[in-house]
Structure 1
């Protein structure tokens, strides 16, 4: 069994600057920018991320599951009946894929790969 835990929730953010300011002001969170359309907290618990690119944003909040073996987790998701909605892709700091589980909820699975 691979390591996996719910680690973040990604929110669609049509106004990423406004949303970033809101969460920083309302909750005192510090969000790190990963380019002009993405920002996220970088804490020890469950983080929040803002996706400002509406072409890449999920229609609903997207929960992220961290794993230590992305390919094995992808195989397990498919074997359990999950539908891959976004194949594995690289992002600054790692790789991820997205899937839909039988009730229709979309989630992401990612692996941290610092320096990649």
Structure 2
């Protein structure tokens, strides 16, 4: 049985990989999927790992804020901000992120549901 601490650690590994682009330690299930604002953006654990490691869509991310985690059964919810690299006139387009992770019985990430709300950072 996987503990809450282990599930939170798995979610944190994913969140860290958003900014450091090192997803090899993220425990994705082989058939893991990710849905972002209703659109499927992750099609397998391998696809998600490859995207986090090398995908241009993640290369614009400079950092994430420390997540606020909550646990509901076998689901972990993480709320944090994504801070981007590009600036225009000293401003960045960033996002408030609310992601819910579900897990296999072995503690691998089975599914990620992401909701984003963009904001401008000065």
* Normalised TM-score (structure 1): 0.33
1 or 2, which has the higher strand percentage? 2
1 or 2, which has the higher helix percentage? 2
* Normalised TM-score (structure 2): 0.32
